[in-house]
């Protein structure tokens, strides 16, 4: 099975400059989801963004890039993590040993 090197999803973006939130007396910027696509080659790791059911990013994925940037994407972590692993295992020619020899 060949996995595409491009992942398409939505990214959580701030709608207000975070440095201006305090000046405006606001605690939070709820942000919004915008269309996003990226090369899996640029991702070095991923993690669950949050398991707090009250947050907009609950069960989403945080990805970390080779350039040091961090993004929250709307792809569920339980869906993205296997794609991430499979892509790099496929690229590296990873061939795990059978459970029994």
What are the structural domains, with CATH classification, of the chain? 6-91 (2.30.29)
CA dist., res. 63 & res. 85, Å (int): 13
Read off the pLDDT of each residue in 7-14 and give the average, rounded to a whole number.
90
- pLDDT surpassing 60 at residue 58: yes
- pLDDT surpassing 80 at residue 2: no
Q: What is the mean pLDDT of the chain?
A: 85
Read off the pLDDT of each residue in 22-45 and give the average, rounded to a whole number.
84
pTM above 0.85, yes or no: no
Read off the pLDDT of each residue in 23-43 and give the average, rounded to a whole number.
83
């Amino acid at each position: 099975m060949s996995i595409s090197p491009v992942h398409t999803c939505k990214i959580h973006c701030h709608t207000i400059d975070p440095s201006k939130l305090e000046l405006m007396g606001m605690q939070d910027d709820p942000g919004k989801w915008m269309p996003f696509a990226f090369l899996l080659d640029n991702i070095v790791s991923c993690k669950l963004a949050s398991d707090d059911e009250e947050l907009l990013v609950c069960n989403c994925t945080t990805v970390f890039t080779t350039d040091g940037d961090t993004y929250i994407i709307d792809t569920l972590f339980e869906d993205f993590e296997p794609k991430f692993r499979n892509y790099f295992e496929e690229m590296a020619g990873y061939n795990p040993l059978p459970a029994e020899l």
